Structure formats: C-alpha cells, structure tokens
Amino acid sequence: MFSDSSTNTISRKRIACFHCGELCPDGSFALEDKAFCCFGCQTVFSLLRENGLEQFYQLQAAPGTRIRSAAALAKWTFLDDPTVTRQLLDFADEQRAKVTLHLPAIHCVACVWLLENLFKLHPGVGKVLVNFARREAAISFAPNQIKFSELAALLASIGYEPQFTLGETEKAKPSPLAKKTWLQIGLAAFGFGNIMLMSLPFYLGLDSFNGPWFKALAGWLSLALTLPVVTFSAADFWRTAWFSLRQRALTMEVPIALGLAAIYLSSVWEVLAQRGPGYCDSLCGLIFFLLLGRLFQRKAHERLTFDRDYKGFFPLSVVRKTETGEESVAISRLRVGDKIILRNGELLPADAKLVSAGAWVDYSFVTGEAEPVARETGAHLYAGGRQVGGAIEVEILKPVAQSYLATLWDNEAFRKNRDNDLDSLTNRYSKRFTKLVVGVALAAAVFWIFKDAGKSLKAFTSVLIVACPCALALAAPLTHGTAQRILARWKIFLKNALVIERLAEINTIVLDKTGTLTTADARGVNFVGAAALSAEEQSWIASLARHSTHPNSVRVARALDASPLSVKHFQEIPGCGVMGEVVGRKIQLGSRAWISAGVGGDGAFSVAGSVFVAIDGKVRGAFALENSLRPEVEKLISQLGGKYELALLSGDNECEAARFQKIFGDRAVLKFNQSPADKLNFIRELQQRGKKVMMVGDGLNDAGALAQAEVGVAVVEQVGVFSPASDVILDAAELPRLAQVLQFAKNSTRVVRAGFAVSALYNLVGVSIAAAGWLQPIVCAILMPVSSATMVLFACGTTAWLGRGLRVEKSQVAGSARANFQPSTFNLQPIVKEAA
C-alpha cells in the first residue's frame, strides 16, 4: 500500500538544491525548473539573477552555501562600535575603508568570482580581492554609502558570513610568508647563476687563454656579486649562529656560518693574492639551496592557526539585553552583571547564571560529554557551553578572562615552546659534526706547520670549506618539507617540519572518544520496533519532531527527513517529551518513563539512549541514538594496536565502555568521566614513565592534553575552522590514515638519516683530500655544488616516492569511506523495504 508513497519520497529526496546542492526535503521551494532546499537559497538565487550574477552557477554546479541563520542586521551592529571598527579595519577615512575578512564559506572558483563581483550587489562596495588559501577577502568600501555592519550583513545574506573571533582583535594577524624570504632567495639565485657563468672557463681550464687580467676581473666581479648575497641573503644564518653561540649551543647554524665565513674569506684572500677567482659560485649556490630548504619548511599552511587559545573560539560579540531592548556588544566590553541573550548554537563566553526558564547546554566542546544537559533557572553555566534550542537569557558572573575555560589555559603545558627544538635530529648530528670538523681542521693545520708552513692555512680552510655541512643542513629541511607538503595534500597539516621527527618517536597513542572516534550525527539513529516504520509513520514522527528544538528531536527529525505535515495541539513537556496530532493521529515522542507511564507498559524495548515513540496511545518502538563510530575506526585501532600502546580518554559516561573495550582489546586503558585536567595529568603520567605520547582529540576539553603530549593531533570536521592548539590538524575523514601517516613519518626520518650518511661519505672523501693538502680548487668548486644537488634530489625524490605509497592506499580507501558516508536519509530505507 505504501510502495507508491515510498518511491515518491525517495525520488523527491534525491533532488539537489540548485543553489547549495543539499538534498531538498520537499518540493515547496522552486523557481522555474530549479528546486531549492530552503527559502534562503531561493532568495540568494533571485538576488544574484537580478544583479546579473548568474554566471555564479555556471562556474560550478551548486556552488552556494546554505543560509543557516536568518541574516539580521542587528547581529552585526557591534561592528559600528568605533573601538571594534578600529581594531578590525586595515585602513579607514571618511570616504574609503579597507578590511580583510575571514570568510570560512569560501570553497570554490565560483565563490572567488562572486565575491570579486560584489560591487554589483551594492554601489558602496569597491574592489574585492580574495585569497583562497587563507579564506580571506580584502574588501574596499565606502563607509558613507555602506556601513561596516551592513557590509557584513550583505556578505552573510549571500552565504559568506564573516567570522570574527576575539583573538583576532587582540593580536596582529600572522603575516604570510615574508616578502623578504623571496627577495633573499632571488638575490642568491642571481649571484649563483652569474658567478657560475664567469667561473665556467675556470672549471674547464680555459682561463689561460685570456691572460691574468681575466682572472682578476672575474675574481673581483664575483666578490662584488657575492657581497650582497652574503650580507642580505645569508643574514638569517649569521644571526641565528650568533644567537646560538651566545646561548652556548651548537645548532646547525654554527657549522653553516663557520663554513660560509671560511669560504668567503678564503675567496677574498685568493683574489687579493691573485691566485684564482675564489669559490664565490659555490658559496652563492650553497646559500641558495639552504634558503630553498627553509622555504620548503616554512611554506606551510597559511590558513591554519595552530596556536589558538580560548579567545580563538569565542565570538567577537554577543547580544546584550538593555532597558530599552537588545544591543550587540563586543565581548571585550562585557561586564559582570550584564544580561546577555544566547540563541541556538551560540557559545557562552563567560561563566554565567541562567535567568530564563530552561536551557539545554551542549558542553561537548569543553568536557567531551556527547549529550546536551538540561539546566534550570538559576543554574551556574560554565563558559564554553553552547545553547541548543530556543533563546536563553543569562547573567554574567565572571569576566571573560577569569572564566572556567580561560583558567584551563593557565596550565604550564601551554607555556612550553617546542618550536625552537634544540634536540632535533639535525642538531644532534651537527653538534658532533662541528666538533669533529674543527678538530680535523686544527689537526691538519698543526700537522702542516711542521711539514710545510705555507700549506698550513690552506689545509685549514680547505677542510672547513669542504666539510661545510651543506648536505647535512639540506637533508632534514628538504625531506621534512616534502613530507609536510605531501601530507597537506591529504588534509593532514603539520605545524612545522619538526613534528615529523616527533611523530616518528611516538610509542603511545591516546585517543579521545566523543568527536574524535565517534560522531554524533544522524547516522547513529536506528529504529527498533516490532515492525519497521512505514513512510507515512516516518513523516508523522518527523513532522512532530521538527517542532521541537530538543537535540534528540532534532536528530530524529534529521534522520527521517520526510516531508513535513501540519501538527495540531503541539505540546512540549520539558524533561519528558513532545506530543501532538498529525493528520488526526496522536503521536508521542519522548523518554521511556514518560511514554510508558502515559500508555502503560513500554512494549519491552530496552534500548540504551533512546527516544520512545507512541502512536495513538500504543508504543510503536524506539529510536536508538548512538554515537556512531567514524568509518574504519575499528580497522585503524587494530592497525595501531599491534605497534603502539593505546589508551582511550572520554569525558563521557561509561555506558559505552564494553563496546570500546572490545574494539581496543584488553591491554588498552580506557578511562571515562575525565575532566580536561584529568586528561592532561594522564598524559603527564605516561610521559613520566618515559612514554612518547601522541594525543588525538577534537575539542577544547582535549586542549590541555594536546598541548602536553609530544604530538597533539586535532581532529576537525572542517579544516580552517575551530581547532584547539595542536601540532597536527587532521581532517576527520582522514582519520583512518593515521597509521599510514605514522609509518610515513618514520620512513621520512629514515630518509634524513640516509641523507646524513651520504653527506658523511662526501665529507669523509673531501676532508681527507683537503687535510692531505692535495685539493685542487677546481675539484673543490665542483664537489660542493654536486654534493648539494645530490642531496636535493635524494631528499625530495625519496620522500615523494615514499609519499606515493600513501597516495595509492588513500585513493582506494577514499572510495570505501565515501560508501560509508551515505546521507542519513537512506539509513531507514532498508527497513522500509523489508516491511514492504
């Protein structure tokens, strides 16, 4: 009887919105032959068409972003507050202003095009320049025609809601890869190329044709061209070498600077003594390759922030209640005693007291608890909670900086700075290397003083020049830089290249549960009942559930996703459930106790964490809401289990302990009800037992543990949005790759060691010849660039080749992962078909 209706619903469900591409729940929004999922998308389409911006839809299919919240101008009025404006605008006078806004919704070519054509939508908007990588738009506008708040509202109305966070206003924006670095590289390349051209006759032994004046000319010109390279391009090497010498540490920069100085000074001496053109070509080449290696390492992920503190998570403004009404106010101006209004999904910025009736607070971000908790009037709410459902009113109890959340950041784990890691692989090698080279050079000099005093100085400088640890200095930056870029292609972003070395040393992995291994989306909604739900019943229940903002109702409604019918006599009983009449049938949806009390007996469906359904006073069944595991988590755990010690930490209760013990095996430690501080201490205890710990987590509740661990991995649903301070940012869909990533890091470190071996071989041969005093300038000049070039090829080539393995496995698994990521709507289909 319902085979017709069910096929109907399916075919209707599959229509994708013309604007945003999401499935249209029903056909009620349509314009001509185009269907839309919601009124917001339809409005944007009409707006763009009226302004001749239809090309937006030709550049990419369904390029839009769903408008999630009604764009109210009032939301943005805080931007007109002069203090806020001053902090955010790059430049402003009466007629012109320029601002760089972070628009996380930018995702395709069409977005870039539409935003850069924004002037067609409003005459007050001038030139817009989008930076796709940073998800930013630099917008010029005329403040006398369009206010800053109106500009923000305009952007929000077409789906590009600007994101402002408290952190942004307080510190300078991170500068992109500095122009200076590029100039330094360009100058070094210029010197390298031109000096090499002049040195060519000397390589080939042709210089005698031109007579001695040519030698002098080439020598002086080379010195002149090298001077800016040594002073400007190599400036950073001198500075860091001086710095580490003053700190009495032998970092890689010390032997580099020593070698560079030796090469330049001996070149000057050779030219002055008219002995030859010096080694300026090698010197410039070396500096060029070294800078290239640094560029590789530094050109990481410009749009990611790895060092967020709590301010990065807070919105810039909240709605404050005043005597006359409501106003939007910057968080920095919030005072104790202010009453603020939080709407669905908004974050509470400070500890506060609930003033209005009841609230559902989602603390998952702070504590890791999966389910929102109910709070009554007068309850103390902690900062970092999110209101779920209707708007609530709260009174601020503590200043933002002293709230529960902010105190988390006072832990010392956040204060350690591991970026200037002195204990890196390269530095360990360079320490021995420097001592050895200086020792050999001195020994050679002393030896030649007794044998042939004239050769003494030459032997000393030759050893320093040949031993110049170019290959050594290039191995790690190039290998790690290449590895970093390969991983970034798979949406695994490392804070810096040193993280690879730390990843390779990990022997213990601690995982967070909620949000990391599990997701609380609609996929985990399963119906359990005597008979499966028919399509009609699904639409009745969905229609009722839609009217409630309770998170469980929202999940049920989203899982069913049927076309809505009108509901009469809707009633929501807090703490119990909802009831109402749909097409004359009485539907109840709620807790087991409430349903069984109302109808007598619960039909003996015992399902954990469930929402019970009664139709016409009879229990129909229950929806089991479980936190579904991300795809392939079990496979990942079994892969990791063989090689690493595993532990699971969860802020959630123990109801799923048995399930996870089965996945993790008996040896793993599972801990539940963990506070953020507990997690941090757990990691610290492991470290005190000599473990190298990797923490994998997602929320603020893991922030302490992420900072304390050797490597903190933040799992995010959307890269570039919302992640706690960490060393690695991992796209949630790539979580199954974790085992391969760890293996890749290990292999990369092996490549670095192999590079050291190659460089040691070069040095052994070169230094022995040099120490013996046999070294011809030509051999020296050729040996040095060749050793650098082999190192570049070896490091980049081998790492890229290793990365290929990652790519192949990845594309295979991507297919199966996608198969697991079926939209929620199809979850219930098999049941319907079985019933049919």
Partner 1 sequence: MSVVIVLILASLALGLIFLGAFVWAVRSGQFEDTLTPAMRVLAEERTEKFPETKPNQTKMKNA
Please give the residue ranges that form the binding site for partner 1 (CB under 8 A).
55, 58-59, 93-96, 109-110, 112-113, 116-117, 119, 123-124, 126-127, 130-134, 140, 142, 145, 176-177, 179, 182-183, 186-187, 190, 193-194, 197-198, 209-211, 214, 217, 221
Distance (Å, whole) CA 685 – CA 772: 54
Distance (Å, whole) CA 512 – CA 702: 8
Residue placing its CB nearer to partner 1 in the complex, 53 or 629: 53
Residue placing its CB nearer to partner 1 in the complex, 211 or 584: 211
Cβ–Cβ under 8 Å, residues 688 and 704? no
For 714-739, b/e burial (b = at least 16 CB within 10 A) is bbbeebbebbbbbbbbbbbbbbbbbb
User: CB of residue 177 vs partner 1: minimum separation in angstroms?
Assistant: 8
The closest alpha carbon to 464, from 281, 246, 279, 292, belongs to 279
For the chain, count helices (H), then strands (E).
Answer: 27, 30
525 DSSP β-pair partners: 625
Identity of residue 756: F
Residue placing its CB nearer to partner 1 in the complex, 192 or 365: 192
User: CB of residue 506 vs partner 1: minimum separation in angstroms?
Assistant: 32
User: CB of residue 277 vs partner 1: minimum separation in angstroms?
Assistant: 13
573 DSSP β-pair partners: 577
User: CB of residue 94 vs partner 1: minimum separation in angstroms?
Assistant: 7
Residue placing its CB nearer to partner 1 in the complex, 189 or 441: 189
Residue placing its CB nearer to partner 1 in the complex, 209 or 450: 209
What Å distances lie between residue 28 and 11, 35, 69, 558, 563, CA to CA?
Answer: 14, 8, 19, 18, 10
User: CB of residue 210 vs partner 1: minimum separation in angstroms?
Assistant: 5
User: CB of residue 200 vs partner 1: minimum separation in angstroms?
Assistant: 11
Token pair in block for residue 107: 């995702």
Residue placing its CB nearer to partner 1 in the complex, 302 or 632: 302
User: CB of residue 130 vs partner 1: minimum separation in angstroms?
Assistant: 6
Q: Which residues contact 728 (CB under 8 A, 6 or more apart)?
A: 492, 493, 494, 495, 499, 503, 711, 712, 713, 714
Distance (Å, whole) CA 311 – CA 702: 16
Reported for 235-242, long-range contacts at CB under 8 A and 24+ positions apart, including other chains, are 235/184, 236/184, 236/294, 237/287, 237/290
User: CB of residue 193 vs partner 1: minimum separation in angstroms?
Assistant: 7
Residue placing its CB nearer to partner 1 in the complex, 126 or 551: 126
Residue placing its CB nearer to partner 1 in the complex, 217 or 593: 217
End-to-end CA distance of the chain: 8
Residue owning tokens 């910057």 = 330
Distance (Å, whole) CA 305 – CA 307: 6
Distance (Å, whole) CA 650 – CA 459: 64
Cβ–Cβ under 8 Å, residues 712 and 503? no
Token pair in block for residue 152: 């923000």
User: CB of residue 142 vs partner 1: minimum separation in angstroms?
Assistant: 6
Residue placing its CB nearer to partner 1 in the complex, 299 or 343: 299
Residue placing its CB nearer to partner 1 in the complex, 179 or 335: 179
DSSP 729-766: EEEGGGGGGHHHHHHHHHHHHHHHHHHHHHHHHHHHHH
Distance (Å, whole) CA 469 – CA 787: 10
User: CB of residue 491 vs partner 1: minimum separation in angstroms?
Assistant: 15
User: CB of residue 213 vs partner 1: minimum separation in angstroms?
Assistant: 9
User: CB of residue 71 vs partner 1: minimum separation in angstroms?
Assistant: 23
Token pair in block for residue 227: 């001077």
User: CB of residue 58 vs partner 1: minimum separation in angstroms?
Assistant: 7
Beta strands across the sheet bearing 645-649: 492-494, 728-731, 711-716, 693-697, 508-512, 645-649, 669-671
User: CB of residue 686 vs partner 1: minimum separation in angstroms?
Assistant: 40
Distance (Å, whole) CA 540 – CA 180: 65
- Strands (E) across 269-412 are located at 317-321, 326-330, 339-342, 352-354, 358-362, 373-376, 380-381, 386-387, 392-396
Distance (Å, whole) CA 340 – CA 334: 9
User: CB of residue 182 vs partner 1: minimum separation in angstroms?
Assistant: 5
Residue placing its CB nearer to partner 1 in the complex, 124 or 315: 124
Q: Could you tell me whether strands 136-141 and 326-330 are parallel, antiparallel, or unpaired per DSSP bridges?
A: unpaired
Residue placing its CB nearer to partner 1 in the complex, 190 or 203: 190
Residue placing its CB nearer to partner 1 in the complex, 121 or 693: 121
Cβ–Cβ under 8 Å, residues 391 and 341? yes
User: CB of residue 349 vs partner 1: minimum separation in angstroms?
Assistant: 33
**Entry field: residues in the chain:** 836
Residue placing its CB nearer to partner 1 in the complex, 127 or 435: 127
Token pair in block for residue 448: 């030649």
User: CB of residue 125 vs partner 1: minimum separation in angstroms?
Assistant: 8
Residue placing its CB nearer to partner 1 in the complex, 119 or 570: 119
User: CB of residue 222 vs partner 1: minimum separation in angstroms?
Assistant: 11
Residue placing its CB nearer to partner 1 in the complex, 167 or 193: 193
Return the half-sphere exposure (C-beta side, CA atoms, 13 A cut-off) of residue 354.
20
Q: Which residues contact 792 (CB under 8 A, 6 or more apart)?
A: 289, 292, 474, 478
Token pair in block for residue 400: 């933002």
* Angle, helix 280-298 to helix 253-272, in steps of 10 degrees: 160
Residue placing its CB nearer to partner 1 in the complex, 145 or 566: 145
For 797-818, b/e burial (b = at least 16 CB within 10 A) is ebbeebbeebeeebeebeeebe
Distance (Å, whole) CA 220 – CA 228: 14
Residue placing its CB nearer to partner 1 in the complex, 142 or 733: 142
